[in-house]
Each structure stands twice: as structure tokens, then as C-alpha cells.
Amino acid sequence: MSDFGNYSSGGSMEAKKQQVMDQVRSELALANAQELINKINEKCFARCVTKPSTSLGGSEQTCLSNCMDRYMEAWNIVSRTYINRVQRESQNMGGAGGF
């Protein structure tokens, strides 16, 4: 993790501002991806590796691959549904806030 104070010296204020924003955006994207990976790890381990043995078997690996894909599909559906709902609710409330 690089720190916020670490600007290249001599850049304009605008450039520094962009740098801060880009950094925040990429850290958020990273945190989101890590959370997704943790959830997938937890769910798919529980579903696919029911009897842990000395190594991951072929069928366990197939299950894990499928499970990862299904979880990401599910994530996209949940995301779409929730965002639609938030938008609908905030329109109903005259654009004020929502959840």
C-alpha cells in the first residue's frame, strides 16, 4: 500500500487532486474485490470441499470453478436488483436520499 502523502513533487494541484482520487478509487475497487474473493472462498469451500482429504480432487476443482462462476453471476443479479430498487425508492421519495 502506498500512502497518500507520497506525491511526485512539482506536480500541479490539479494533478495531485487527480492522484488522490485515483488512489481512493483503486483502493475501493481492491477492497471490493477482496471481499468478493473472501465470500467466494467461504461459500465454495463449504459447498465443494465437504470432506477435506490430502489434496483437492478433480471433482472438487470442477465444483470450485463452477461455484466461483455461479457466485459472480449471482453477485451481478443481486447488484442489479439492489441498484434498481435504490433508484426506484429514491424517485418515490422525490429524489431525497433513499436508503
The site for another protein (CB under 8 A) is made up of 4-5, 7, 13-14, 16-17, 20-21, 24-25, 28, 31-32, 35-36, 39, 43, 47-48, 63, 66-67, 70-71, 73-75, 77-83, 85-86, 99
Nearer to another protein, 7 or 53 (CB): 7
Closest approach, Cβ 74 to another protein, in A, equals 5
Tally of CA atoms within 13 A in the half-sphere of 34 that contains its CB: 6
Nearer to another protein, 54 or 65 (CB): 65
Q: Closest Cα to residue 44, out of 11, 73, 67, 18? A: 67
Q: Closest Cα to residue 3, out of 29, 24, 34? A: 24
Closest approach, Cβ 54 to another protein, in A, equals 23
Q: Using CB atoms within 10 A of its CB, is residue 33 exposed (0-12), middle (13-18) or buried (19+)? A: exposed
